[in-house]
Structure 1
Amino acid sequence: MFYISTLLPMLLSAAVASLSVSYHSKSICVLERSSVDFSCTFDYPLYSTLKTTRWFKPLSNQKQDGTQFGISVYHSNTAEIHQLYKNRTAYANQDRNCSLQIHNVSKSDNGMYFFRLEYDHGKYTGPWGINLSVAVLPFRVTVKTQKKNGHIHEGDYVTLTCGTENCTPKKEPFAWFKNQRLIPEATDNVFHIASVSHHDFGNYSCGLKTSSSTSTDEILLDVKYMPKNVEIAVFPSGKIREGNSLTLICMNNANPSVTNYSWFLIKEAKVSHIGLDREFSIKSASQKDNGQYFCTAKNDMGSQNSSVIALNVEVSVHQNVLLTATAVFLFLMAVVIFGLIIWRIQFTSKKHPTEQTPAATVTEEIYENLRKSQESEGKYSTSVVYADLSLPPASDRPSCNSQAGDTVIIYSLLSYNK
């Protein structure tokens, strides 16, 4: 009798202890329109008869601890299954295996699920239940940074998360895209950028590798950075001919956009400021435009100078010929004018010679024939002197008004006292 009274409580304790329900997952997240598995095992006392098994979901206005049944998702009596779950569930139907599968899940399936068994000596509901979250498509990319103002600067730590309205199925393989190009190293729903740079600026999207239809809309990763890759583009390109128009453009990458431009010319070791716009135009290029040019681009994040380019304006062959011909023409004109001036000076000198008494030449021969008069009486006497001059031909001496011959007779009356 003693043994029976001792053994009976032990048997009852063992029977009660064997009553259990185990859920393999406490929380599950699946994509809408997919299937979900509730893995479950249970136990009940030996020598008992299992009468009813059921899965139920408490209504939104009921307690979510399993104390209120709500609607039947599955019931061993199919007539008890709620209309929302008919033909959508599959029960394991194996001894002590209470796993349940729900197909084509939707947002309305969010909530807590419990397994309950009833046997001939009692009934039991597995505690805690399983929380089902249905990920409602499409995925969305969220950007987080350590900065409080939300602005992302170069060097910041940035996290991109691919998620949905309710949850994210982390067991699924993910794919990330930048400007619609795959990022091979990113396979999780979270993409970390330890030190963001201007190269990371762009539009990002994500989705499941197993389904192209899950791709998200693109979101801009707006990285703020100072002007980069500042360089000068010349239009038109190629050789620069004198007289042609020319435009220099200050090219750069910057975020935010450049607000201030400056142009500089280096010539003969002197730097001159020549412009303030993104473009610098030369309407008619000439030799005076030769020199070294560079530009400066500036935004709120900083500034950067471009590399220096040399501008060399070439004179065309036609212009060289024209310049040469002009120079030769001017030289010849100068020679002609100089010659005319010399000729005029000589002509004027011949037309108005300097007036002076011509000197007698050595060829001239002068003959004098002096004859003394016989009359010598008286106090005073008078003598007549005749002089004959023989002159050279008229061509060798100045002209005179005399019409006499080559011999000129000069009469001279001389008086003197004896």
Structure 2
Amino acid sequence: MKTCALKGSTIHLSGTYKHPNYLTVTEKFWTVNPSKEKTISLMNHSDYRDRVQFFQNKEGMFFLRLSNVTHGDEGIYCLRILTGVKKQRFLGFPGPELKVTELRVEIPAEIMEGESPVLFCKTTCDLSGKTNFTWYKNGKRLSERIVSEQLLLPSVSSDDTGNYSCAVRDQKHLSSPAVTLSVRCTSRLDLHIS
């Protein structure tokens, strides 16, 4: 299962495991990109230590909360189970795969007065669930009704010139870098007939 998250956001991953009843579990932890040689607990990993929390619910589900995700966090996350018997170790592989993206606004190269350009809020992977977007012009929020990754600007004029950015509705603090939209005026020729 792939999970796409915005850089700087907090994610929650989950997993379960089963083991034979005669074995005693001595340790349970989450790891990333495990190899046969070593699997290190994220709680002991210097890149993760201050950003991870583990939870377990009554139904036996295990959760990993990872905050302030970065591109360096991309990888496959697995639940590792150690038991009292050295050779009886379990790894939930493959676990959820994390991809990290950032928002960016794409605008047409040249916009003439009177045209109706469409601006796009783009990501490199599909954010999970139904994602609603918020659009900003010069740092001020545009209409509440705009929730799409596309922003249509009907019949633009010089008033539409400005810096446009977008954000995911529930993570407004992680907005895209602003992109400047310029509207070129169409030149008018005045004809004088003498």
Among 117, 120, 127, the residue aligned to 1:161: 120
Using the TM superposition, give the Cα deviation of residue 49 of structure 1 relative to its aligned residue in structure 2, in angstroms. Answer: 1.8
Distance 1:98 1:86, change over 3 A: same
Provide the secondary structure at the position in 2 that maps to 1:105. Answer: coil
Which protein, 1 or 2, shows the higher relative CO under an 8 Å CA cutoff with sep ≥ 6? 2
Distance 1:192 1:181, change over 3 A: closer
- Report if the CA contact (8 A) 2:7-2:68 is conserved: no
Using the TM superposition, give the Cα deviation of residue 175 of structure 1 relative to its aligned residue in structure 2, in angstroms. Answer: 1.1
Using the TM superposition, give the Cα deviation of residue 114 of structure 1 relative to its aligned residue in structure 2, in angstroms. Answer: 1.7
Among 179, 183, 207, the residue aligned to 2:143: 183
Among 16, 19, 28, the residue aligned to 1:53: 28
Q: Deviations over 1:386-408 (max 9, x none)?
A: xxxxxxxxxxxxxxxxxxxxxxx
- Report if the CA contact (8 A) 1:26-1:129 is conserved: no
Unaligned runs of 5+ in 1: 1-24, 59-65, 76-80, 145-149, 223-254, 264-272, 275-418
Residue identity opposite 1:187 in structure 2: V
Q: Report the Cα distance in structure 2 between the residues aligned to 1:181 and 1:99, rounded to whole angstroms.
A: 35
Distance 1:27 1:215, change over 3 A: closer
Among 29, 34, 42, the residue aligned to 2:5: 29
Q: Report the Cα distance in structure 1 between the residues aligned to 2:36 and 2:119, rounded to whole angstroms.
A: 41
Residue identity opposite 1:97 in structure 2: M
Q: Report the Cα distance in structure 1 between the residues aligned to 2:174 and 2:6, rounded to whole angstroms.
A: 16
Identity of aligned residues (%): 22
Q: Deviations over 1:176-197 (max 9, x none)?
A: 1356561332113x1154xx74
Q: Report the Cα distance in structure 1 between the residues aligned to 2:168 and 2:156, rounded to whole angstroms.
A: 25
Residue identity opposite 1:105 in structure 2: V
Supply the RMSD in Å over aligned alpha carbons: 3.6
- Report if the CA contact (8 A) 1:174-1:187 is conserved: yes
Specify the alignment match of 1:261 in structure 2.
190
Structure with a larger share of its residues in helix: 1
Q: Report the Cα distance in structure 2 between the residues aligned to 1:38 and 1:140, rounded to whole angstroms.
A: 25
Using the TM superposition, give the Cα deviation of residue 67 of structure 1 relative to its aligned residue in structure 2, in angstroms. Answer: 4.7
Distance 1:67 1:159, change over 3 A: farther
Among 165, 178, 183, the residue aligned to 1:217: 178
Using the TM superposition, give the Cα deviation of residue 68 of structure 1 relative to its aligned residue in structure 2, in angstroms. Answer: 4.3
- Report if the CA contact (8 A) 2:13-2:65 is conserved: yes
Specify the alignment match of 2:53 in structure 1.
90
- Report if the CA contact (8 A) 1:141-1:205 is conserved: yes
Provide the secondary structure at the position in 1 that maps to 2:47. Answer: helix
Residue identity opposite 2:45 in structure 1: H
- Report if the CA contact (8 A) 1:56-1:70 is conserved: no
Q: Report the Cα distance in structure 2 between the residues aligned to 1:92 and 1:130, rounded to whole angstroms.
A: 16
Residue identity opposite 2:54 in structure 1: Y
Q: Report the Cα distance in structure 1 between the residues aligned to 2:55 and 2:174, rounded to whole angstroms.
A: 32
Using the TM superposition, give the Cα deviation of residue 212 of structure 1 relative to its aligned residue in structure 2, in angstroms. Answer: 5.3
Residue identity opposite 1:216 in structure 2: P
Using the TM superposition, give the Cα deviation of residue 41 of structure 1 relative to its aligned residue in structure 2, in angstroms. Answer: 1.4
Residue identity opposite 2:90 in structure 1: Y
Distance 1:200 1:72, change over 3 A: farther
Which structure 2 residues correspond to residues 318-357 of structure 1 after superposition, within 5 A? Answer: none
Q: Report the Cα distance in structure 1 between the residues aligned to 2:97 and 2:182, rounded to whole angstroms.
A: 34
Using the TM superposition, give the Cα deviation of residue 106 of structure 1 relative to its aligned residue in structure 2, in angstroms. Answer: 2.7
Residue identity opposite 2:146 in structure 1: A
Provide the secondary structure at the position in 2 that maps to 1:206. Answer: strand
Q: How many equivalent residue pairs?
A: 184
With structure 1 as the length reference, what TM-score do the two structures score?
Answer: 0.37
Q: Which has the larger radius of gyration?
A: 1
Among 67, 71, 81, the residue aligned to 1:107: 71
Using the TM superposition, give the Cα deviation of residue 151 of structure 1 relative to its aligned residue in structure 2, in angstroms. Answer: 6.1
- Report if the CA contact (8 A) 1:56-1:73 is conserved: yes
Provide the secondary structure at the position in 2 that maps to 1:84. Answer: coil
Residue identity opposite 2:53 in structure 1: A
Q: Report the Cα distance in structure 1 between the residues aligned to 2:42 and 2:173, rounded to whole angstroms.
A: 33
Q: Report the Cα distance in structure 2 between the residues aligned to 1:108 and 1:88, rounded to whole angstroms.
A: 13
Distance 1:69 1:54, change over 3 A: farther
